[in-house]
Chain A
């Protein structure tokens, strides 16, 4: 009886709490609007400028003029030459193998790791790359990727072991990895460019920076996932730490480490096109040229080459466990590898003996086919489609009626007001410390003297995030509750996650007007699949017991969703939002290249004209990092608030 008596009291208490919160929120909003009106137009004061542009520019000139003159610069040059040598040798090897040998490698690795089906899919996907007409340039890309991924694993696995075995190691590495993963690639291209100049070396290093974090993380995870009892067994029978690692921990972590290799490869493919800004003359560079010249056919055929290589490598490196149905002679791994090596060498020699060309003359002109589709869509759907208005109309609406007003508001607001709002957001989400950090991020951006560009980028990110989430959350809920739909969508979502951001830019650029819209749309398309995935995953991971309990008490499906499943999945969904925001930011930055403007454009021009604009690029890069750190920290803290394990929040 007491429980019944207490319940209404508790209810009134939360209700009064809630209305008080609402009142505070409304008051704060009104306050902000009033302050905005009164103080608009107050620009960042000049005393805050740290002169990053000028300093970075002169540092760059100093490096270029002094290359090889002191030991550090000599070492840098030597290191860069070694990387260049590695890539060039790999290209030579791939050319020596000829297309027959390369296909044989894909087939052999696919067969040994996952069986005939995967081998055939991998080989035919790879064959298509040749049909699209960029075999040799794709081999250059492949060489960069391979060198970068090998280096990444050489760095990542030992670091991963360290972080897996030692808590101290993990604590030290985690913030470094977090930052490396949050930063859009443009940011570190500039320092790399200034140290190594144009060429393969900075491209490989840029790829390595991207690919190391998953290698470290997954190796560490694999080692930490080894059950306590198994390591206890190892210790109790008298293993030395080295024996424990070699005989127990590493073998048991093997499949997770392989997943790390797979992820590292995928991350590497994510920045092929961006890395080609550093002058690699590979297939990524073709995509870049196509985007800059609005060449639809070229963009599609080169883009598809990258996508297909990525898919082929993903398939043959994804861990599917032991292949089934092998003939008895193929049961031993060693026999299989020898047979594979024989096949590869045989295929390469076959190419030599018959003097096969780089690739046969057969072509699949996917480019012009795609161009005609795009042209057709543009002719018919640009304007005057009933109800939705057409791609041109949508584009105009987003820019004129949503983006520009928001951008205008952010740019005209007093700079300190934006800092204050960021601080209040941080305080509301976590408390004083996050408030301080958020404020510092924005003061830092102000000190870079790229304030208006930063506000431009921020407005694009905000619009794209709102659009992405309002699509991803409902679809994710639907997918999470319908196993049928999940089955249908899963391959699509899986593939979408493999594709690099640039792939999304190619079609949208040609469908929508040049300007910020293609970037926004690409960001939305890029961010939606992981958004859907994480929401659906969160829902599905809710344990069955409370859901069954709800149903047994007569909850309708709607009640069950709202009262049980969603609240329990909230944390996963919030962390999904975090992912979406970071992906949106990365894409919006990249889209600077194709008319999105903002910090992205500034960073790119720093890359393409290092002699004149490298300093501007560096300042833009630092601003991007600060923006990324702010968005990441705030959304992550926000997601963690909804966990049921921290009750004393």
Chain B
């Protein structure tokens, strides 16, 4: 995968401040006013407005995977569309790298869409009148890359997502999972540093969905891109996200690492969501370890390993598990009792 621009530089960060989207007549007067705090139904009958998204602040660091999770109608699709102004936000600013998208003129906006950001859609959005190659090459085509070059690049990208040699097929000849691989290839083909995912896997069967999530994890390791990922599936969010934002009624109710969200839910709403998530799935070993004072261990794991991954070790041996940092230096160890306490939810 060739990549344009230095990966991880500030050009691939996203910074959002006070972003609002209000539908209906004279939306400006709603922003930040007392009206915005009215219950949804009352506001709609009184002024005819609907607040889809309110007061969103978010910062995504270069190379980070930022997941926005919420139920349908929570405003998450509106948010991701406002990032490149597919939907025009009512108020607030969006910075992509050093470009103020919300103030960008026509040319600059096209430049952001063509060169910096690529998007993957829920229902794939493949074009039935084009071959897979021409679908994947679409972003390059509108950018004005010549035919031979863009097709060559598109075919390479198809290879990357595991569809090599299928370039002359048409979308309707593929399964849902394959179609979304094409959607992914189309996004990768532009070499944009930022990828936006709008519930990309929710239309797929559970097993295929899992495959595709693995694909994202793999991509993350290989091509270090900044990603904003929308989903309504908590386990997907926990698997993929460096940080997760939980969205409800158009606002973020909590932003944090998977662990924080599960262990310290901000309110009852989030708590209801994460209640059934076993803590051992999200809590890393270093959060339950004690200091080392012996020399015999059941095994050794690195910092960041989730507790559930050492359950087997402590179950088959009475010895503790050693935790080492990236350089291999021991930083602590975990006993069976720590693991059990975490699972039971009685650790102090």
Contacts and interface: CB of A to CB of B under 8 A. Distances in A.
A113 B181 CA distance: 32
B142 A237 contact: yes
B129 A236 contact: no
Interface stretch (B107-115, B146-154, B251-259, B314-322): B107-115
Contacts of A236: 84, 86, 113, 117-119, 196
Contacts of B141: 247
A239 interface: yes
Q: Which among A233, A240, A252 has the greatest number of chain B C-beta atoms within 10 A?
A: A233
A99 B85 CA distance: 59
A237 B138 contact: yes
A243 B113 CA distance: 14
B123 interface: yes
Interface in B41-88: 81, 84, 86
A232 B186 CA distance: 14
A252 B112 CA distance: 26
B190 A237 contact: yes
Interface residues of A, number: 18
Interface string B121-142: 1111111111000000011011
Contacts of A233: 119, 121, 125, 127, 138, 186
B101 to A, nearest CB: 13
A238 B127 contact: no
Given A243-B142, A247-B142, A237 B127 contact: no
Contacts of A238: 110-115, 139, 142-143
A227 B196 CA distance: 20
Nearest to A235: B86
A253 to B, nearest CB: 10
A372 interface: no
A483 interface: no
Interface string A213-255: 0000000000000010110111111111001000110011010
A237 B118 contact: yes
A453 to B, nearest CB: 51
B80 to A, nearest CB: 10
Contacts, number: 65
A237 B194 CA distance: 12
B321 to A, nearest CB: 47
Contact of A232 (B86, B128, B139): B86
Interface string B326-338: 0000000000000
A252 B128 contact: yes
A236 B128 CA distance: 18
Interface string A240-284: 100100011001101000000000000000000000000000000
Interface in A182-235: 227, 229-230, 232-235
B114 A254 contact: no
B123 A227 contact: yes
Contacts of A248: 127
Given A237-B139, A237-B142, A252-B128, A232 B121 contact: yes
A236 B125 CA distance: 11
Contacts of B125: 227, 229-230, 232-233
A526 B253 CA distance: 65
Nearest to B113: A238
Contacts of B124: 229
Contacts of A240: 110, 142
Interface string B177-189: 0000000001000
Contacts of B112: 238
Contact of B129 (A227, A229, A254): A254
A125 to B, nearest CB: 31
A322 to B, nearest CB: 10
A222 to B, nearest CB: 12
A243 B129 CA distance: 15
B122 A229 contact: yes
B235 to A, nearest CB: 25
Interface in A20-68: none
A238 B190 CA distance: 11
Nearest to A231: B125
A554 B143 CA distance: 62
Contacts of A251: 127, 129-130
The 5 closest A-B pairs by CB, nearest first: A238-B114, A238-B113, A233-B125, A229-B125, A237-B139
Interface of B: 81, 84, 86, 110-115, 117-119, 121-130, 138-139, 141-143, 186, 190, 196
22 contacts: A227-B125, A229-B121, A229-B125, A232-B81, A232-B86, A232-B125, A233-B119, A233-B121, A233-B127, A235-B86, A236-B86, A236-B196, A237-B139, A238-B111, A238-B112, A239-B142, A240-B110, A247-B141, A247-B142, A251-B127, A252-B127, A252-B128
Given A237-B142, A238-B111, A252-B129, 4 more contacts: A232-B81, A236-B86, A236-B117, A247-B142
